[in-house]
Amino acid sequence: MKTKLFILVFLVFITIVKSQDGGIRAKVIDYDGNPVPIANVTLKTDKIIDGQTTNFDGWFHFKGLMPGFYNIEISFIGYGTKKITQIIVTQGKTTFLESIKLNQESIIIETATIYAEKLVDPGNIQGVKLSPEKIKTLPNNKDIGAIIEATSSEIKITNDRKQIIVRGSRPNSSSFYIDGVKMSEISNGISGNTIKSMVVYSGGIPANIGDLTGGCVIIETKSYFDFYYQWKSEQE
């Protein structure tokens, strides 16, 4: 009986963990905009961890990835190799990239920010998502409140820099989460360079957050491995 219970608990645990994993999905096209089927796509961190080929519509999809930074390398006969670095995978989300175009140059290295400006996430059409690269460009990126205010003119921070006001709502009608933990107030102890992912909702709050009349800010911070993989990708 104890053995069966242990197996059941283990399977539930694995299911929960896998549901929190992320993914990377994109379409590979040629210089005329046509899909490239059976192109080789290699997923890397500091080593090769997975590989697949595009389907007949040119799509590839890596699933079950732990949050962090990844690089991909795409090659096909008659085309040059394209490398895309610093692709951010967040917990429980699939990173959708705009179509990746192959050409005849030998090797082209691009960062994911080229595609992230047009990032499409069907599961998150209401939220404004900020990547670490975007946060770096903000003038006051060490102040969490200033970063949040930069996402929308409808969002203000109280004078004590502790609460969020969305479209004139009361401060306590909004929520602030860090790594899945609900915080009573904005934490300015977090610097912009420690943020792996930030999503700001000023309307259309996700069902799993609850019923709010204001807005919601969800922040996921970088782990040691995120900093390590980022450093490794910059050395390549």
Fold of 2-116: Immunoglobulin-like (2.60.40)
Tokens standing for residue 203? 């309307």
Q: Which CATH class is domain 128-226?
A: mainly beta
Please report which helix (H) or strand (E) contains residue 3, including its range: helix 2-19
How far is residue 26's CA from residue 31's CA, in Å, rounded to a whole number?
16
Of 236, 234, 197, whose CA–CA distance to 68 is shortest?
A: 197
Half-sphere exposure in the Cβ direction for 115 (13 Å, CA): 24
- Condensed to tens digits (0 to 9), the pLDDT of residues 147-198 reads 888 877 778 888 888 888 887 777 777 878 887 788 877 865 677 778 877 8
Q: Where are the domains of the chain?
A: 2-116, 128-226
Tokens standing for residue 114? 């080229």
Q: Collect the ranges in the chain with pLDDT lower than 70.
A: 1-20, 113-127, 187-189, 203-213, 224-236
Question: Which pTM value belongs to this model?
Answer: 0.47
Of 61, 74, 60, whose CA–CA distance to 108 is shortest?
A: 74
